[in-house]
Amino acid sequence: MKFRKSILLSLISLSAVVLISSCYYDKEELLYGTAAPCTDTTTNVSYLQKVVPLLQQYCYSCHTGSFPSGNQLMGTYVADKAMAQSGKLYGTINHSSGYSPMPKGGAKMSSCQISTIKKWVDAGMLNN
Ligand code: HEC
């Protein structure tokens, strides 16, 4: 009996060590890995170089072509600008109340990506 108890105890402490160390590695990954901090401080956001690649990654798959989802067309400067002007572009990606959260069924864009798009909108949605 005593022997079993000590096995149980060492198992518990072993799993505690594993848990703690995995937390440690998680943090390290956060610091140096994928979750890079928002270092882009540019205020002059280029539509072609910054906004389009994001929309391409997160939106165009559903909102281009002859039958765009929700009848919301994107994918050209004119269409993207119109969506931005209506407030829907920022409202949906920011998950603001009153808007359908986008990208539909996917993870919310990072705050860094959202602020990049917001800067473009606030600067007048230039075709730059
Ligand atoms: C997987 C497909 C899919 C993706 C990806 C997607 N959408 Fe949508 N979107 C839809 C569907 C379906 C609707 C219509 C139903 C609804 O409103 O939820 C819609 C509706 C909308 C609307 C109208 C909603 C409203 O509240 O007026 C806007 C604006 C919009 N999408 C923008 C975007 C933007 C911007 C992105 C990229 C960040 C995006 N969508 C990504 C499928 C998608």
CA 69–ligand 1 middle distance (angstroms) = 6
Top pLDDT among 23 and 47 is at 47
For residue 100, give the ligand 1 atom closest to its CA.
Answer: 26
For CA atoms 31, 37, 87, 56, give the dihedral sign: negative
* Amino acid 127: pLDDT: 98
**pLDDT level of residue 35 (50, 70, 90 thresholds):** low
Pocket of ligand 1 contains residue 102 by CB under 6 Å: yes
Find the 107 Cα to ligand 1 centroid distance in Å. 13
Confidence band of 49 (pLDDT split at 50, 70, 90): very high
Residue 104 Cβ inside 6 Å of ligand 1? The answer reads yes
pLDDT of residue 17: 52
Please, are residues 105 and 69 in contact by the beta-carbon 8 Å criterion? no
Give the pLDDT of residue 7. Answer: 63
| pLDDT in the model for residue 16 | 59
First to last CA, the chain: 76
Structure pTM? 0.78
Distance (Å) from CA 1 to ligand 1 centroid: 62
